[in-house]
Amino acid sequence: MELSVLLNQFLSGLTRAGVLFMLASGLTLIFGVARVINFAHGSLYMVAVYLSYSFLRLFGPGGMGFWLSLVAVALSLALIGGAIEAGLIRRIYGREHLQQLLLTFALIYIIGDAVKFVWGITPKSVSRPPFLEASIPVPGGSFPVYNLFVIGLAALVGVGLWLMLARTKLGWLIRAVAADIEITEALGVNVPRLLTLVFMVGTLLVGVGGAAAAPLTVGALGMDVEIVILCFIVVIIGGAGSLLGAAVAALLVGLLEAFGILALPQFAVVFIYALMAVVMIVRPWGLFGTPG
């Protein structure tokens, strides 16, 4: 097999990993702090892709329009996430995971019907911004600049999220709530408001990932199912609540998917599930998770 083909698949795998990391980091943050299994995470990603379509039509496809759309989608998803947490999720904290699953599973249908009502059933596509339409030469061919932009954006999101959690007061409070919510509340921290903020940060990451992925995919009903499964696989492999785990697992899943399609297309998905199964057998708490 030619080196150029392997290089292209490697870069494609990094692109996929970048999108998965941005989405899964929001999912693992919400679960690590609020202990809520949010099955509607993929549906919010679908909303982000459709909103990208609408905002780009509003602001225009140019450079400024692209950046305005990216920011608008991220902020819109943050507001939606905050509303969902304050209106619904807050009422099931501390309850059995089954009740959480039922509520967030119901949200999948509610959000799906809302998308159908607003945008219809016709798939929506988004073009790449003109300033990122070019390709760069690589050995044996070329690779889209936009894909490199997605990889770089994912890296910036990861660094920014780490700095926020490790170097800011907000990050310290989030980590304190994740470690012991009762003691943190006893120290006078407004935990309900903090949990709402965590949901907003988690869904903002979905907005960034969805807006970045919009030119790489097609907005269509049902697209949320595949992506939420992959996000949960990333969280399971990496370890719930671990940002580093989400990054490493997204990289493994993205590359495994890319090279699996190249080697045995009909079994590409099987490789990903096999990796998850091995990790669950050897380390049930994930590569970078903690037992208990």
- 121 SS3 class: coil
Q: Is the pTM of this model over 0.85?
A: yes
Cβ neighbours for 219, distance < 8 A, ≥ 6 positions apart: 46, 49, 50, 52, 53, 119, 123, 124, 125, 126
Region for residue 134 given its phi and psi (left: phi exceeds 0; alpha: psi -120 to 50; beta: otherwise): beta
- The answer to whether 38 and 23 have CB atoms below 8 angstroms apart is no
From residue 282, give the alpha-carbon distance in Å to each of 17, 128, 154, 237, 275: 23, 42, 29, 11, 11
Per-residue pLDDT of the chain (292 residues; tens, 9 = 90+): 577 788 888 999 999 999 999 999 999 999 888 888 888 999 999 999 999 999 999 998 778 999 999 999 999 999 999 999 999 998 888 777 788 888 999 999 999 999 999 999 999 999 899 889 898 888 767 889 999 999 999 999 999 999 999 999 988 999 888 888 888 888 888 999 999 999 999 999 999 999 999 999 999 999 999 899 999 999 999 998 899 999 999 999 999 999 988 888 888 889 999 999 999 999 999 999 887 6
For residues 205 and 225, give the distance between their C-alpha atoms in angstroms, rounded to a whole number. 18
Cβ neighbours for 27, distance < 8 A, ≥ 6 positions apart: 38, 41, 202, 231, 232, 234, 235
| Beta strand spans in the chain (E) | 124-125, 135-138, 141-144, 218-219
For residues 259 and 1, give the distance between their C-alpha atoms in angstroms, rounded to a whole number. 12
For residues 148 and 136, give the distance between their C-alpha atoms in angstroms, rounded to a whole number. 10
| Structure token pair of residue 55 | 């905002």
For residues 228 and 36, give the distance between their C-alpha atoms in angstroms, rounded to a whole number. 15
Cβ neighbours for 62, distance < 8 A, ≥ 6 positions apart: 129, 130
Cβ neighbours for 236, distance < 8 A, ≥ 6 positions apart: 249, 276, 279, 280, 286
For residues 8 and 18, give the distance between their C-alpha atoms in angstroms, rounded to a whole number. 15
- Which position has the token pair 């920011």? 71
